[in-house]
Amino acid sequence: MHTLMSNLMRSRTMKGMTASLLPVLLVACGGGGDGGNPGNSTVETHDPAIHEPAPPEGGSSEHADDSTWHEQCHADDTSMVAAEGPALNMSTNQLIVKLRPHVSASDSGYGRGSRNASVDVDALTRVVDRINARANASANASRGLPVRIAVKRVMSGGSAVLSTTGADPSVAALADELMREPEVEYAEPDVRVHASAQPLDPHFRDMWHLHDSDVAIRMPGAWDVTQGNREIVTAVLDSGITPHPELAANVLPGYSFVSNALAANGVPRGPRADDPGDWLSEEETSAGGAFHGLPAQPSSWHGTRVAGIIGATANNGIGIAGVNWYGAVLPVRVLGKGGGSTSDVVDGMRWSAGIPVAGAPANPHPARVVNLSLGSIGACSRTFQEAVDELNAKGVTVVAAAGNGGNNTIDMPANCRGVISVGASDTTGRRAFDSNTHPRVTLSAPGTGILSLANDGTRAPGAADYGITSGTSFAAPQVSGVVSLMLAVNPRLSPREIADILKRTARFPAVTQTTRSCRVIPPGRGILDARAAINAAAGTRSGSRS
Burial class (CB in 10 A: 0-12, 13-18, 19+), 51: buried
Which residue out of 51, 194, 244, 302 is catalytically annotated? 302
In angstroms, rounded to a whole number, what is the distance separating the alpha carbons of residues 446 and 201? 17
Which residue out of 238, 344, 426, 434 is catalytically annotated? 238
Burial class (CB in 10 A: 0-12, 13-18, 19+), 44: exposed
Spatial contact of 34 and 322, defined as CB atoms under 8 Å apart: yes
In angstroms, rounded to a whole number, what is the distance separating the alpha carbons of residues 518 and 406? 11
Which residue out of 159, 352, 425, 473 is catalytically annotated? 473
In angstroms, rounded to a whole number, what is the distance separating the alpha carbons of residues 343 and 384? 9
What is the length of the chain?
Answer: 546
473 is catalytic: yes
Least Cα distance to 318 among 33, 32, 41, 44 occurs for 41
The residues near 161 (Cβ < 8 Å, ≥ 6 apart) are 23, 94, 95, 96, 97, 151, 152, 153, 154, 155, 190, 343
Q: Residue 151's beta-bridge partner residues?
A: 162
3-state secondary structure string across 361-389? CCCCCCCCEEEECCEECCCCCHHHHHHHH
Spatial contact of 190 and 287, defined as CB atoms under 8 Å apart: no
E strands, 130-179, where? 147-154, 159-166
In angstroms, rounded to a whole number, what is the distance separating the alpha carbons of residues 137 and 131? 10
Kindly state the helix (H) or strand (E) to which residue 100 belongs, with its residue range. Answer: none
Spatial contact of 310 and 246, defined as CB atoms under 8 Å apart: no
DSSP secondary structure code for residue 236 in this structure: E
In angstroms, rounded to a whole number, what is the distance separating the alpha carbons of residues 275 and 496? 33
**For residue 38, is the peptide bond before it cis, meaning its omega torsion is within 30 degrees of 0?**
no
Burial class (CB in 10 A: 0-12, 13-18, 19+), 116: middle
46 is catalytic: no
Q: Where are the alpha helices (DSSP H) in 117-161?
A: 121-142
Q: Residue 465's beta-bridge partner residues?
A: 454
In angstroms, rounded to a whole number, what is the distance separating the alpha carbons of residues 454 and 33? 13
Least Cα distance to 197 among 471, 433, 476 occurs for 471
302 is catalytic: yes
Q: At 541, give phi and psi (nearest 5°).
A: -95, 0
Residues recognised as catalytic: 238, 302, 473
